[in-house]
Chains A and B, each alone.
Chain A
């Protein structure tokens, strides 16, 4: 059972457009992580958010953690084909609890 709900499930956009993916939880997590996974590879950590209301930027990627620490979003500005992949959010306790992910396709 996935405690974390991610939306949308699929997203296909043109190069240069912006996109936002969402992660919502039924539980409060002490911290939350975002990963990107490419076909045939394991997930790679993008960011960890810890404080409610926190905003982190990683080049063209902006991550927000909700005030109540139950939701998060990932915004990509001016998407590029290299941003294509499966984006996973994961809540952290003694283990990672992953959402089902959002498959992002950026068309050249």
Chain B
């Protein structure tokens, strides 16, 4: 079975632009989470979705939004890009979104560079 897949793998944008990142979870997984990993830091939680509903949101500005589709894939959107948004964006999937009892599987991420 395929793991968590993310696209694109790399992306270069300029300040003020908008970006959409995509994630396909492992087959059978209904929950997707998004994390931002800035160089030299650990991943920071952005969103969690389960069955198309937002279950949790981290401390990120409203420029960040996400959604989950009926096939459980997900998009992360970032508006009005800032230089500080440059990071590796990771998507993780799990069966039920119960972080305490379930294993999270991470994709390889999308490396976003904002110039």
How far, in whole Å, are A33 and B104 apart by their CA atoms in the complex? Answer: 11
B33 A2 Cβ-Cβ under 8 A? no
Contact across chains for B42 and A42 when beta carbons are under 8 A apart: no
Q: Which chain B residues in 59-103 approach chain A with CB under 8 Å?
A: 90, 92, 99-100, 103
| A66 contacts the other chain (CB 8 A) | no
Interface size class for chain B?
20 to 34
Task: Tell whether A97 is near chain B: CB-to-CB under 8 Å.
Answer: yes
A43 engages B43 (CB within 8 Å): yes
Q: Report if B32 contacts A (CB, 8 A).
A: no
Q: State whether the Cβ of A98 lies closer than 8 Å to any Cβ in chain B.
A: yes
In this assembly, does B26 line the interface, its C-beta being within 8 Å of a C-beta of chain A?
A: no
- CB–CB A95/B45 < 8 A: yes
On whether the beta carbons of A95 and B58 are closer than 8 Å, the reply is: yes
Q: Are A90 and B42 in contact (CB under 8 A)?
A: yes
In Å, the complex CA distance between A85 and B33 comes to 23
A contacts with B, residue count (CB < 8 A): 24
Min Cβ gap B65→A in Å is 17
Question: Is A96 within 8 A of B108, CB to CB?
Answer: no
Tell me which of A44, A45, A98 contacts B44 (CB under 8 A).
A98
Q: A42 to B107, Cβ gap below 8 A?
A: yes
Compute how far the CA of A41 lies from the CA of B5 in the bound complex, rounded to whole angstroms.
11
Q: How far is the CB of A98 from chain B (nearest CB, A)?
A: 3
Cα(A5)–Cα(B99), bound, Å? 21
Question: Complex Cα distance A97/B92, Å?
Answer: 14
Minimum C-beta distance from A25 to chain B (A): 13
Task: State the Cβ distance, B48 to closest chain A Cβ, in Å.
Answer: 6
Contacts of B4 in A (CB 8 A): 42
A96 touches B99 (CB 8 A): yes
- Tell me, in angstroms, the Cα distance from A11 to B61 when the chains sit together: 35
**Contact sample, A vs B, 15 pairs, CB 8 Å cutoff:** A2-B41, A2-B42, A4-B42, A30-B100, A40-B108, A42-B90, A42-B108, A42-B109, A45-B103, A94-B99, A95-B33, A95-B56, A95-B99, A100-B41, A100-B42
Interface residues of chain B, those whose CB is within 8 Å of chain A, are 4, 33, 35, 40-45, 48, 55-56, 58, 90, 92, 99-100, 103-104, 106-109
